[in-house]
Chain A
Amino acid sequence: MSSESIQAMAEGSNDMEGRGTQFQILALIQLIVSMMGFMFGGTVVLGSLAVMMGGLEAGSWLFLTAWFVQSIIILILSYMLLRIGIALLNRDMWAFSAALYLNLLLVLVFLTIGGAGTIFATAAIVPVVVLFLPDVKKYWYPSFYEDTVPRIKELRHALYLIRKSPLVVAGIVILVCFVAIALLAPFITTYGPEQRIWADSNLPPGSPSSVEGMPDHIWGTDDSGGDIYSRLIWAAQVDLRISLSVVIVAVMIGTFIGAVAGYYGGKIDELVMRVTDVFFAFPGLILCMAIVMALGEKSLDTISIALMVVWWPTYARLVRGQVLAEREKLYVEAARSIGASDGRILLFHIIPNTIQPLIVQSTMDVGSVLLTAAGLAFIGFGPPAGAAEWGLMIAIAQLYFSMNQYAIFFPGMAILLTALASNLVGDGLRDILDPKLRRR
């Protein structure tokens, strides 16, 4: 940063002494936004609690818990924004960049709710816009810019390394394509996920439908006349959602438990390690089988729960090992010697430095989870026959093996490609993030 911008900063602060109305308005808007967040979050939390108390229809619990979690996140964000609003009133410098990030995050969360969320999201954008008004901007932007530039530089370097390795790029492209296809399913499919035309069963790719006015079967049909192409795409939604949600939940649980065990050590550590030992004594698929069997319900939800239960110890182990290694590093001791608290050291120093192997492992596990989930569905733990899921599609098609190989080939290719892509990305990232290879 040049000395001019410092000058500008100094001027800005002088300015502020004179006329602070913009900042008061900004703080006011911020407080209003946080109040709206409280309102929305509180209503939804109470509402969903009330509905849960009143008893549920089967199947709606997943929907409700999603709302519940979202509104809890909104409540937390609103509380943080309330604090920021107060800090803005006092014209605390740190509050400006924090306000920027948190408001944008809030907008994102509101948008995932859809419908009503959009209105609230627009409200949360207002303080962001105010932040960028020239009079306000010149006060905080220079120092924010200065803080962000080195991070962008690092990011750009990482991107450069990624671009240099074609396999990682290929993996990323495949994954992005699959996610895009899954999201765009309603627009690019020609048939519904469980729609079938019995007269069309076991057709080869490219056959026209026997029913007047129905689209062609691009990749043929399965034994019961389901369109393979469309079902494959619908199934992508299901499979990707399972593997992503399992990995995310397992990473969160595993990181928390592993970090605590590694940092505090002693009895907690010993206990966690023995428990993970037991989990590691079972091969993943077999333990999943036992869990689903015990839960007694064969569905994708139970498969997901079983996979989460099976997968968290991997991350607990990984994070614990990393934390143990980082805990001994001198910079942690240096942080301790300036009086930083345990929580701060764990959050700001240790966890950010353990995140790289975690990213690599979880990327690769997206593939492994998918393989295991598909395997479970294949041996009969999945949803009832007819649902669009890759493993299940192969399981059903297998019965008509001699008549129709396309119904097996395409779903299998989809599984293979997704798993391959996640392995490619994970493998490549490991090489890129390897500290030994990193520039010094």
Chain B
Amino acid sequence: MKLRDFILRRLILAIPVVFGVMTMTWFLSYIIGNPVAMYINTNTPASAIPAIRRAHGFDEPLYVQYFLYLSGLFQGDWGISTSTSFRPVTEIILLKFPATIELSMIAMIFAIVLGIPLGILSATHKDQKIDHIMRIFALAGVSMPIFWFALMLKHVLYFQLAIAGLPHLPGGERYTLIRYLSFKYTTGFLLIDSLFFYGDFTLFVDALLHLAMPGFCLGYLTIAIITRMMRSSMLEVLREDYITLARSKGLTERVVIYRHALRNAMIPTVTVIGLAFGSLITGAVLTETIFNWPGLGKWAVRAIFSSDLAAINGFTLLVAFIFVTANLVVDLIYGVLDPRIRFG
């Protein structure tokens, strides 16, 4: 199959998935759940409910409701978040999104920077002590309850050190609130804002320090996933004939691994990085709660406590769209990197 055909086909295949995602959320919130709950809260008088029902078309037949729901989604009407002073869900998402993305990106950088070398190290020292340590490290990452890991990290790196009066990592928030009271976001990405719009390097460093602990905590699972994938794909590649050939040509082990093996071993790892996006956002829900990070995850958890259906619905939709996009991008990259995949 030609590359153009492949890309087109993948894009077209993504359309039913996007519609499926929207249908699923509709099904959950309209059929199983009570859609009126998206527009009311405990303070809404019971007498006002019929008016709300009518205003949002909940009296219409189901297929009309479905159509209204979809057109609402396309027009940016994702409901009203009752737990966040009745502001539209889309507005809050735009407001909180950069914080989550910044955290996820840092976590991803941790994962890639640590995961790939650790995987290579593990593969090249197969069945040696270092390999066993790496495998247990990775296995622990996959089995770690992330909220507990966050609490434990916070306990050791923040709480214990602070009690002992030693320098310690900050225990939450995006920056030291007291020191930069008047700070206003421009893009919402603190690392960018602090350097380019605020021009304060100390704020940048402060932001980095605040990112370190939640970033690592969130990234640990992804580090583990990438390490394992890198290890197994590297081992697979090292068994290939062309590696034996490269060795028999007298190339040093270094050149063999970094020039010949790495490029091919990276291909499956790229897919995993894309899939890890899902786990990052899942993890963000839990991590942000613990580090008091003003992002989407913390907002979603607060929404759960006040039974804010619209917020959860919007959050679910957003995450699914991000996830679908990430998978699509990975698929396309995979297709470009490895021509074999196009003939599936």
Contact = CB atoms under 8 A, between A and B. Distances in A.
Interface stretch (B4-12, B13-21, B40-48): B13-21
Given A281-B323, A283-B279, A367 B312 contact: no
B270 interface: no
Interface residues of A, number: 45
Interface string A360-378: 0000000100010011001
A409 B147 CA distance: 11
A101 to B, nearest CB: 37
Given A287-B316, A289-B312, A415 B289 contact: no
Contacts of A415: 145, 148
Interface string A389-428: 0010010001001100100110110011001101110010
Interface stretch (A123-131, A134-142, A209-217, A271-279): A271-279
B145 A371 contact: yes
B21 A420 contact: no
Contacts of B320: 281-282, 286
A290 interface: yes
B20 A277 contact: yes
B148 A286 contact: no
A284 interface: yes
A295 interface: yes
A422 to B, nearest CB: 8
A375 B286 contact: yes
Contacts of A422: 143
Contacts of B316: 282, 286-287, 289-290
A379 B287 CA distance: 11
B205 interface: no
Given A394-B147, A409-B152, A286 B309 contact: no
Chain A's interface: helix, strand, loop or mixed, by majority? helix
Interface string B185-198: 00000000000000
Contacts of B29: 290, 294
Contacts of A293: 28, 33, 304, 307, 309, 312-313
B239 to A, nearest CB: 11
- Among A378, A391, A411, the most chain B Cβ lie within 10 Å of the Cβ of A378
A416 B20 contact: no
Nearest to A371: B145
A383 interface: no
Contacts of A378: 145, 147, 286
B285 A286 contact: yes
Interface string A94-118: 0000000000000000000000000
A412 B145 contact: yes
A381 interface: yes
A291 interface: yes
Nearest to B30: A294
Contacts of A277: 16-17, 20
B223 interface: no
Residue of B143, B151, B282, B312 with most chain A CB atoms under a 10 A cut-off: B143
A409 B316 CA distance: 31
Nearest to A292: B304
Interface in B16-73: 16-17, 20-21, 23-25, 28-29, 32-34
B143 A367 contact: yes
B97 interface: no
A290 B25 contact: yes
Contacts of A275: 20
Contacts of A401: 151, 154-155, 159
B28 A290 contact: yes
Given A286-B281, A375-B147, A380-B305, A405 B155 contact: yes
Interface string B276-308: 001101100110011000000000110011010
Nearest to A275: B20
B146 interface: yes
A412 B143 CA distance: 11
Most buried by B among A277, A290, A412: A290
A339 interface: no
A289 B139 contact: no
Interface string B254-293: 0000000000000000000000001101100110011000
B159 A402 contact: yes
Contact of A284 (B142, B282, B286): B282
B145 A374 contact: yes
B324 interface: yes
A285 interface: yes
Nearest to B154: A401
A343 interface: no
Given A282-B316, A289-B300, A412-B151, A274 B20 contact: yes
B130 interface: no
Nearest to A277: B17
Contact of B151 (A296, A371, A408): A408
Nearest to A287: B316
B17 A371 contact: no
A131 B29 CA distance: 58
Contacts of B147: 375, 378, 391, 394
A284 B319 CA distance: 11
B16 A274 contact: yes
B245 interface: no
A180 B312 CA distance: 39
A416 B32 CA distance: 34
B110 interface: no
Interface string A282-316: 11111101110111100000000000000000000
Contacts of B336: none
Contacts of B32: 291, 294-295
A420 B286 contact: no
B140 interface: yes
Given A379-B286, A379-B289, A290 B151 contact: no
Given A295-B33, A379-B285, A420-B140, 9 more contacts: A274-B17, A282-B323, A286-B281, A290-B28, A293-B313, A296-B33, A408-B155, A419-B143, A427-B139
10 contacts: A274-B17, A282-B24, A283-B323, A291-B28, A375-B147, A378-B286, A380-B304, A416-B145, A419-B145, A427-B139
